[in-house]
Amino acid sequence: MTTGAVPSVEPPGAAAHAIEVARGQPTGDGVVARPPYLGREELDALFSVEEFEPLAAARMHPTTYQYIRGWAGTGWTAAENMRAFQRWVFRPRFMRDVTHLDTSTTVLGETVAAPILFAPTSVHKLAHPHGEAATAGAARALDIVQVLSTGSSTSLEDIAGIGPKRWFQLYWYTDRGLTRELVERAVAAGFTALVLTVDAPVIGWRETERRTAMVKPDDATAVLLPEDLSGVAQATDLTWESLEWLRSVSPLPLVLKGIGRSDDARLAAAHGADALIVSNHGGRQLDGGIATLDALPGVAAAVEGLHGAGGRPLEVYMDGGVRRGTDVVKALALGARAVLIGRPVQWGLATGGEAGVLRMLELIFGEFRSAMGLCGATRPSEITRAMVTRNPEPTAPRV
Ligand SMILES: Cc1cc2nc3c(=O)[nH]c(=O)nc-3n(C[C@H](O)[C@H](O)[C@H](O)COP(=O)(O)O)c2cc1C
């Protein structure tokens, strides 16, 4: 195992961190705690996503758990992402035939069992030795898309053999050769969309990561990047015009992750995006930023009627704080075609590997199906804005 301490002050240009977890210098030893994972029977006794977090925390080194849980600054935005869901309540419709509920939809033309994707989060081997392969197995079983991170601890080619529905999340490096190679590998390995993360040109101010050295298993490394990360730096000079180059080296549909404003959404459409993800990196980048659910309606309205470079209507997804099936219905009512889930995937992995991720998502899935039907919709496309309204008592906590 190794320990990575994050320097107290980022070196100049280290906005350009290679990946979230690979920063820092080795400083010493630690103990990586990995008590037995829960089996199928024990997992079946869990009934909410919230139950997974403490079980996951107990199975990870505290510093690893903190890294996954972490946020920028005070953590206000990370918490706000979740609070935003409490600001909306349902206006259910009844006396509608909901005999046949179908949660399936399409994302970029690909049929998926539910409007839920696995968000790209780095180094899944922090949470479980099978890492992204376990996540891919769960995505296959659930018939949903896994978005593989540039910070993956499993190779693109290994994932290709497991998960049939896979997109690749790209960080763009100053070394265009490296960036291009990542794109080419993703294309060759059959990934069907490229998700460019735009909200991290500068690294967020992560106080916990700065304060505490992370203790991690030896195999928990970003295998898609060069072993020597000293020369690897994220590009800080990207502009809308830069997308032209990316589109010239990638035949894949382009998804921009981290859009939160209507003007940026329209610019993204004008520069060839096929889909947008309203995201603030789970509150890990700019503390004080708007909750993603609050940003979503404006972005969705801004691109209504616009088409992506591939000719399809531009799609809008969102992530940040989605923990329940009811959250998924609210996001769809406010303009998202689908949502992505970040931290809970890591909790599922740490609790029970592939079976843990499967169970975690089955719960969100099940509640989504139930809530959709109770709102009077038989399929995601029938979920409308009229099914939610602002919460008259917005401070009411979740029980
Ligand atoms: C541990 C961790 C690592 C992440 N790594 C990446 C990454 O490599 N690339 C990326 O675009 N987003 C990354 N994200 C952000 C997620 O894709 C997603 O936006 C966020 O987790 C959604 O919020 P949620 O965790 O509340 O569901 C990471 C998030 C976490 C928690």
Listed by start position, the domains of the chain span 2-390
pLDDT at 377: 98
Within 6 Å (CB) of ligand 1, which residues are found?
A: 20, 68, 81, 119-122, 149-151, 169, 197, 257, 279, 281-282, 284, 319-322, 341-343
Residue 144 CA to ligand 1 centre (angstroms): 17
Read off the pTM. 0.93
Q: Would you say residue 58 has pLDDT above 50?
A: yes
Ligand 1 atom 1: residue of nearest CA: 68
The answer on pLDDT for 27 being more than 70 is no
Is position 281 annotated as part of the catalytic site?
yes
Distance 394 CA to ligand 1 centre (A): 26
Mean pLDDT of 117-129: 97
Q: Which of 100, 124, 281, 307 is catalytic?
A: 281
**Could you tell me which of 303, 300, 367, 295 has the C-alpha nearest to residue 329?**
367
How far apart, in whole angstroms, are the C-alpha atoms of residue 96 and residue 281? 38
Using 50, 70 and 90 to split pLDDT, how confident is the model at 30?
Answer: very low
How far does residue 295's CA lie from ligand 1's centre (Å)?
18
* pLDDT value of residue 394: 67
Q: Which of 147, 281, 323 to mutate to test the pocket of ligand 1 (most atoms within 8 A of CB)?
A: 281
**CATH number given to 2-390:** 3.20.20.70
pLDDT value for 213: 83
Q: Are residues 348 and 130 in contact, defined by beta-carbon separation less than 8 angstroms?
A: no
Q: What is the mean pLDDT of residues 264-279?
A: 98
Mean predicted confidence (pLDDT) in 218-226: 94
CA distance 377 to 49: 24
- For residue 63, how far is its CA from the centre of ligand 1 (angstroms)? 17
Per-residue pLDDT at 25: 33
Q: Which atom of ligand 1 is nearest to the CA of 321?
A: 26
| Model pLDDT, residue 159 | 98
Task: Using alpha carbons, list the distances in angstroms from residue 149 to 272, 274, 334.
Answer: 22, 19, 27
Nearest CA to ligand 1 atom 2: 121
Q: What is the pLDDT of residue 26?
A: 35
Exposure on the CB side of residue 74, measured as CA atoms within 13 A: 5
Which residue do the tokens 């769960």 mark?
A: 138
Sequence-separated (6 or more) residues with CB below 8 Å from residue 30: 1, 3, 61, 63, 213, 215
Q: Using the predicted structure, report yes or no on whether residue 31 has a pLDDT greater than 80.
A: no
Q: Does residue 198 or residue 207 have the better pLDDT?
A: 198
